[in-house]
């Protein structure tokens, strides 16, 4: 058994910034970060757009940002949370810059602020089209300088250890030795990111299998609003691969047009904001156009833009298109919606506390009340930064006495068993992804959801039975977590009776 004071599961911006703050405040305490891939592999790394923060008080205001967030959340945001996150943003940005993160500036030396769908003003702070990568680079550099932080990469947290509604740590699989060890901790933070691989077609990296939410659910933590799945409207269409390269919303903010293959700018028919409508509107509009036409994709037209400025602002996107044979000066970029973000998750209060004692959650795996029924573009990195700080401030309060019950923790049963059939796991994973795309996608139907619920229960029983008699690996645990997440999404979609934000459900399809 390994003892640590703070166990952080996940190495995105949420987990790393908390680790950095707590390690600086308590140099005599042990901080352990568990991450199942390389330490820099997270949803943060792939965040292109930036961080929505009010920095120009002449053109913008906190109130405008608050109102934009509330409108996008379609009546389900917690207004107190929205106000807190928006107003704390500038201080969190200042810290990032102090830690070494660099953001684009204009010729006057001021931050070059972008504009994305749903925003009334330019307020998105960015580093070209690789903002998340730049933030991850800067914070990881600081983390590695702290002697009291241990980073365990290629380690997979399989389950939380709980007793009497306290979290006591987690069981962790070393993916190199295939041994599961017990990590006992005073405080555990889940910062495990999203669920995109459940849908297969996603802008998320391969690690996004919903592990934190699934573990929290098994620990009886409150899980809420899993039906609110955000699909990014413009992922590069690659018919031969499941993974989708994101064409940032900022490209539409830069002036690109969405067109059908016949050249019609269809967003004019759906929303007065046209291409800059919120993500749910644009995704649903594209979905409807594709169902009408039977086409595989729509197109993003950048040919009328200042191409030199485009290349400077979006070098990664420009080069990706070029490698795929798309010259944006004359060719349209093929795009389709792909799963991008989940607005629900582990319910936390304004200090990041879950319903399980000594268990906290932060970032995309948490449900804070900020996003409501649909996340406003570039509010996610902001939320992660603010909540990691809130958790730190709560736990560093000298008056706080963290109670850690003296309960014996059983070691993980590591009895030797036959290896599990990975071909079976891969087949079941592919079937699960297809089920979720077809039955719980952008627009859902009651009959499809009911059928999916039955199928998911059958798969869950089958994989749990398989796990009883085999040596378990990370592929098994990921698939178990994905089935758990699928069941939560489908069940909460059935329970939701009113269409809100990114959630659209009908009794039966209107297109045959």
Catalytic residues: 279
**Can you spell out the DSSP letters for 54-95?**
---TTT--HHHHHHHHHHHTTT-S-HHHHHHHHHHHHHHHHH
Q: How far apart are CA 186 and CA 167, in angstroms?
A: 8
Cα dist. 109→105, 123, 389, 418 in Å? 6, 16, 28, 62
Kind of pairing, strands 179-190 and 257-259? unpaired
Q: Check: CB of residue 488 under 8 Å from CB of residue 212.
A: no
Q: Check: CB of residue 305 under 8 Å from CB of residue 255.
A: yes
**What phi and psi values does residue 29 have, to the nearest 5 degrees?**
-100, 150
Residues with Cβ < 8 Å from 338, sequence gap 6 or more? 199, 201, 202, 203, 231, 232, 235, 244, 246
Q: How many CB atoms lie within 10 A of CB 400?
A: 9
Q: Check: CB of residue 162 under 8 Å from CB of residue 219.
A: yes
Q: Check: CB of residue 315 under 8 Å from CB of residue 128.
A: yes
Tracing tokens 């089209």 back to the chain, one arrives at 129
Give, rounded to a whole angstrom, the gap between the first and last alpha carbons of the chain: 58
Residue 280 has, within 13 A of its CA and on its CB side, a CA count of 22
Q: How many CB atoms lie within 10 A of CB 492?
A: 18
Tokens of 410: 């059983």
Task: From 348, 387, 343, 344, select the one nearest 221 (Cα to Cα).
Answer: 348
Q: How far apart are CA 440 and CA 425, in angstroms?
A: 21
Helix, strand or coil, per DSSP, at residue 291: helix
Helical (H) or strand (E) element with 424: helix 422-439
């Amino acid at each position: 058994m390994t003892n640590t004071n703070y166990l952080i599961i996940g190495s995105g911006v949420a987990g790393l910034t908390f680790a950095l703050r707590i390690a600086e405040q308590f140099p005599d305490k042990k901080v352990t970060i568990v991450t199942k891939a390389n330490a820099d592999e997270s949803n943060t790394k792939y965040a292109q757009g930036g961080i929505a923060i009010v920095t120009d008080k002449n053109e913008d205001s906190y109130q405008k940002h608050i109102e934009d967030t509330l409108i996008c959340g379609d009546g389900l945001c917690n207004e107190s949370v929205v106000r807190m996150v928006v107003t704390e943003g500038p201080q969190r940005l200042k810290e990032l810059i102090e830690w070494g993160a660099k953001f684009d500036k204009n010729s006057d030396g001021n931050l070059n602020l972008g504009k994305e769908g749903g925003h009334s003003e330019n307020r998105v702070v960015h580093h070209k089209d690789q903002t998340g990568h730049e933030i991850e680079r800067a914070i990881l550099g600081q983390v590695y300088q702290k002697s009291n932080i241990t980073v365990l990469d290629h380690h997979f947290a399989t389950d939380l250890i709980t007793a009497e509604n306290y979290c006591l740590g987690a069981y962790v699989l070393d993916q190199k030795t295939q041994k599961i060890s017990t990590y006992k901790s005073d405080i555990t933070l889940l910062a495990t990111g999203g669920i995109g691989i459940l849908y297969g077609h996603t802008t998320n990296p391969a690690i996004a299998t919903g592990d934190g939410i699934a573990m929290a659910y098994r620990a009886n933590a409150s899980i809420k609003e899993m039906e609110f799945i955000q699909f990014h409207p413009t992922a590069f269409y690659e018919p031969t691969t499941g993974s989708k390269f994101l064409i940032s919303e900022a490209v539409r903010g830069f002036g690109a047009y969405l067109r059908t293959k016949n050249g019609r700018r269809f967003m004019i028919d759906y929303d007065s904001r046209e291409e800059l409508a919120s993500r749910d509107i644009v995704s649903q509009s594209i979905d409807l156009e594709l169902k009408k036409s039977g086409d595989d994709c729509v197109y993003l037209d950048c040919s009328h833009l200042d191409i030199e400025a485009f290349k400077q602002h979006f070098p990664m996107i420009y080069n990706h298109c070029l490698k795929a044979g798309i010259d944006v000066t004359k060719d349209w970029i093929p795009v389709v919606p792909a799963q991008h973000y989940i607005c629900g998750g582990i319910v936390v209060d304004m200090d990041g506390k879950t319903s399980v004692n000594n268990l906290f959650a932060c970032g995309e795996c948490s449900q804070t009340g900020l996003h409501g029924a649909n996340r406003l573009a570039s509010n996610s990195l902001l939320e992660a930064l603010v909540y990691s700080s809130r958790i730190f401030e709560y736990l560093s309060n000298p008056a706080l006495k963290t109670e850690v019950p003296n309960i014996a923790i059983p070691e993980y049963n590591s009895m030797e068993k036959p290896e599990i059939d990975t071909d079976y796991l891969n087949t079941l994973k592919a079937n699960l992804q297809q089920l979720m795309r077809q039955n719980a996608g952008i627009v859902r139907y009651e009959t499809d959801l009911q059928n999916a619920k039955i199928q998911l229960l059958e798969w869950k029983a089958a994989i749990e039975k398989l796990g009883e008699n085999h040596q378990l690996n990370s592929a098994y645990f990921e698939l178990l977590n994905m089935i758990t997440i699928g069941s939560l999404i489908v069940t909460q979609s059935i329970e939701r009776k009113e269409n809100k934000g990114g959630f659209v459900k009908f009794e039966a399809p209107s297109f045959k």
